[in-house]
Amino acid sequence: MSRRQLKAQALFGGGNKEGGGGGMPNPFDMGKLMESVKKAQQLVQVETQRVQAELDATEFDGYDEDETVKVVMNGNQVPKSVEITQEAIDTGAEELSRRLTLAMQEAHGKSVTGMKGKMQDLAKGLGLPNPAALTGGGM
């Protein structure tokens, strides 16, 4: 029985300096893969910055139940302004604090909801899975 000679070929190329891995084309060109990953990262970064700028420019209002206190936050949950009517001031410190808290909670809730929607749209636009699906619906 005679033995056959085996020719070794590298799975990822590297057979010789001319780029041939034993004459086979390299199905896993790491250079091209890394270039594609870099381009994808740049796209994500640019789109994320665009969405952050939109959120920064978007305002969400929150009010107490009597609309005597108004709080404005942007889409990044940064407070922008507070308006308090004389009627709210006349209710006293404890009641004013309660009304202000209600208005802040409403503005914050709207801001978070707006941010989640923008981030879901961003993920969808980039062809990424829905973040809510990845976290069990928490987003």
Considering the domain boundaries, does residue 31 fall inside one? no
> Within a 13 Å sphere around the CA of 20, how many CA atoms are in the beta-carbon half?
5
Residue 37: alpha-carbon gap to chain centroid: 18
Q: For the whole model, what pTM was predicted?
A: 0.67
Q: Which residues pair with 84 in a beta bridge?
A: 69
Considering the domain boundaries, does residue 7 fall inside one? no
Report angle CA 51, 52, 56 to the nearest 5 degrees: 115
Q: Residue range 41-54: average pLDDT? A: 90
Considering the domain boundaries, does residue 99 fall inside one? yes
Question: Which residue spans within the chain are E strands per DSSP?
Answer: 59-63, 69-74, 79-84
Q: Of 27 and 19, which is predicted with more confidence? A: 27
Considering the domain boundaries, does residue 73 fall inside one? yes
Q: Residue range 101-112: average pLDDT? A: 98
**In the chain, how many domains are there?**
1
Considering the domain boundaries, does residue 83 fall inside one? yes
Query: Domain of 86: which CATH number?
Result: 3.30.1310.10
Considering the domain boundaries, does residue 8 fall inside one? no
Residue 138 has pLDDT above 70, yes or no: no
Query: Residue 20's pLDDT is what?
Result: 47
Considering the domain boundaries, does residue 28 fall inside one? no
How many C-beta atoms surround the C-beta of residue 36 within 10 A?
A: 11
* Residue ranges making up the domain that contains 100: 55-124
Closest CA relative to residue 106, chosen from 66, 60, 56? 60
Considering the domain boundaries, does residue 116 fall inside one? yes
pLDDT tens-place string over residues 117-133 = 998 988 888 887 776 66
